């Protein structure tokens, strides 16, 4: 199963879990599965149009999914999906 890495600010939603395993074929279905297990994640990660929110970065095995196929990115058995707040950096 693919593993989500949950950042500090969202662990209240995941009962404090740092990693959550989900059964999914692509990123969109992985987020659905995460939200089914711990309700609230979909709202935090996706906007009204169902797209990734501005301040959320999602990395599939350390690659920014926005550089690839976004929510359609294929997710495999041993993949790691990291959620990282976007506001950081500069310089």
Q: Which residues bind ligand PLP (CB under 6 A)?
A: 90-91
What are the strands of the beta sheet with 56-60, ordered from one edge? 19-22, 2-5, 80-85, 56-60, 63-64
For another protein, which residue of 16, 48, 54, 78 counts as binding (CB under 8 A)?
A: 54
Tell me: does residue 53 bind another protein (CB under 8 A): yes
Closest approach of Cβ 62 to ligand PLP, in Å?
Answer: 22
Output the CA–CA distances (angstroms, integers) from residue 7 to 1, 49, 51, 69, 91, in the order listed.
19, 23, 19, 22, 23
Nearer CB in complex with another protein: 14/82: 82
Tell me: does residue 55 bind another protein (CB under 8 A): yes
**Contact between residue 24 and residue 11 where contact means Cβ atoms under 8 Å apart:** no
Closest approach of Cβ 40 to another protein, in Å?
Answer: 11
């Amino acid at each position: 199963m693919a593993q989500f890495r949950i950042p500090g600010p969202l662990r209240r939603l995941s009962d404090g879990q740092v990693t959550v395993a989900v059964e999914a074929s692509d990123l969109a279905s992985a987020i659905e599965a995460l939200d089914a297990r711990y309700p609230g994640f979909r709202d935090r990660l996706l906007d009204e149009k169902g797209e990734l929110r501005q301040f959320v970065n999602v990395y599939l095995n350390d690659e920014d999914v926005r550089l690839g196929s976004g929510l359609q990115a294929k997710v495999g058995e041993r993949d790691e999906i990291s959620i990282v707040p976007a506001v950081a950096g500069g310089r």
